[in-house]
Structure 1
Amino acid sequence: MNRQERTPIVEALRQYRKKRIVSFDVPGHKQGKSTKVLIDVLGEKCVQIDYNSSKPLDNATHPIGVIKEAQELMAEAFKAKESFFMVGGTTSAVQAMIFTACKYGEKIILPRNVHKSAINALVLCGAVPIYVNPGVNKELGISLGMSIENIKKVVEKNPDAKAIFVNNPTYYGICSDLKKIVELAHKNNMLVLADEAHGTHFYFGDNLPISAMEAGADMSCVSLHKTGGSLTQSSALLINNNVNGNHVRQIINLTMTTSPSYILMSSLDIARSELAINGKEIFKTVINMANYARKEINKIGDYYAFGEEIINNDDIYSFDNTKLCIHTRKIGLAGIEVYDKLRDEYNIQIEFGDIGNILAIISVGDRNLELERLIAALAELKRKYKKDYTHLFDHEYINPIVKYSPQKAFYSNKYSVKLDDSIGKTSAEFVMAYPPGIPIIAPGEEITQEIITYIKYAKEKGCVMQGTEDIELNNIQVMEE
Structure 2
Amino acid sequence: MTLLSQNQAPIMEALTRYKSMRVVPFDVPGHKRGRGNLELAAFLGEQCLSMDVNSMKPLDNLCHPVSVIREAEELAAQAFEAKHAFFMVNGTTSAVQAMIMTACTAGDKIIMPRNVHRSAINALIISGAVPVYVNPGLHSELGILLGMSLGDVEQAILENPDAKAILINNPTYYGICSNLKALTDLAHQHNMLVLVDEAHGTHFYFGDDLPASAMSVGADMASVSMHKSGGSLTQSSFLLINNEVSEGYTRQIINLTQTTSGSYLLLSSLDISRKNLALNGKEIFRKVADMAQYTRDEINKIGGYYAYSKELLNGDTIFDFDVTKLSVDTRDVGLAGIEIYDILRDEYDIQIEFGDIGNILAYISVGDRQLDLERLVAALAEIKRRYAKDKNSVFDHEYINPQVALTPQKAFYAPKTNVPLSESAGHISSEFVMCYPPGIPILAPGERITEEILDYIAYCKEKGCFLTGTEDSDILTINVVKEHEQ
Tell me the TM-score range normalised by the shorter chain: over 0.9
Residue pairs, 1:44-443, within 5 angstroms: 44-395=46-397, 397-443=399-445
Q: Which runs of 5+ in 2 are unaligned?
A: none
Q: Is the 8 A contact 1:229 1:364 kept in 2?
A: no
After TM superposition, give the deviation of residue 466 of structure 1 in Å.
Answer: 0.3
Q: Distance in 2 between matches of 1:98 and 1:216?
A: 17
Bigger mean CA deviation after superposition, 81-90 or 356-365: 356-365
Measured on the aligned residues, the alpha-carbon RMSD in Å equals 0.9
2:42 alignment partner, SS class: helix
What is the percent sequence identity of the aligned residues?
65
Q: Distance in 1 between matches of 2:411 and 2:345?
A: 38
Q: Distance in 2 between matches of 1:143 and 1:182?
A: 20
Q: Is the 8 A contact 1:80 1:213 kept in 2?
A: yes
Q: What amino acid is aligned across from residue 446 of structure 2 in structure 1?
A: G
Q: What amino acid is aligned across from residue 408 of structure 2 in structure 1?
A: P
1:257 alignment partner, SS class: coil
Q: Is the 8 A contact 1:355 1:396 kept in 2?
A: no
After TM superposition, give the deviation of residue 396 of structure 1 in Å.
Answer: 5.5
Q: What amino acid is aligned across from residue 204 of structure 1 in structure 2?
A: F
Residue pairs, 1:446-461, within 5 angstroms: 446-461=448-463
Structure 1: 4+ residue segments shifted above 3 A: none
Corresponding position of 2:38 = 36
Q: What amino acid is aligned across from residue 222 of structure 2 in structure 1?
A: S
1:260 alignment partner, SS class: coil
Q: Is the 8 A contact 2:324 2:364 kept in 1?
A: yes
Aligned length: 481
Q: Distance in 2 between matches of 1:397 and 1:88?
A: 31
Q: Distance in 2 between matches of 1:32 and 1:455?
A: 46
After TM superposition, give the deviation of residue 171 of structure 1 in Å.
Answer: 0.5
After TM superposition, give the deviation of residue 2 of structure 1 in Å.
Answer: 8.2
Q: Is the 8 A contact 1:143 1:396 kept in 2?
A: no
Q: Is the 8 A contact 2:4 2:75 kept in 1?
A: no
Q: Distance in 1 between matches of 2:37 and 2:317?
A: 54
Q: Distance in 1 between matches of 2:226 and 2:450?
A: 38
Q: Distance in 2 between matches of 1:138 and 1:462?
A: 23
Q: Distance in 1 between matches of 2:296 and 2:393?
A: 26
CA deviation profile, 1:343-372 (whole Å, cap 9, x unmatched): 001110000000110000112322211111
Q: Which runs of 5+ in 1 are unaligned?
A: none
After TM superposition, give the deviation of residue 399 of structure 1 in Å.
Answer: 1.1
TM-score after normalising by structure 1? 0.99
CA deviation profile, 1:75-99 (whole Å, cap 9, x unmatched): 0000000000000000000000000
1:390 alignment partner, SS class: helix
| Of 10, 19, 22, the match for 1:20 | 22
Q: Distance in 2 between matches of 1:260 and 1:287?
A: 34
Q: Distance in 2 between matches of 1:364 and 1:231?
A: 15
Q: Is the 8 A contact 1:94 1:117 kept in 2?
A: yes
Q: Distance in 1 between matches of 2:244 and 2:370?
A: 43
2:28 alignment partner, SS class: coil
TM-score after normalising by structure 2? 0.98
CA deviation profile, 1:167-211 (whole Å, cap 9, x unmatched): 010001001101011111111010000000000000000111100
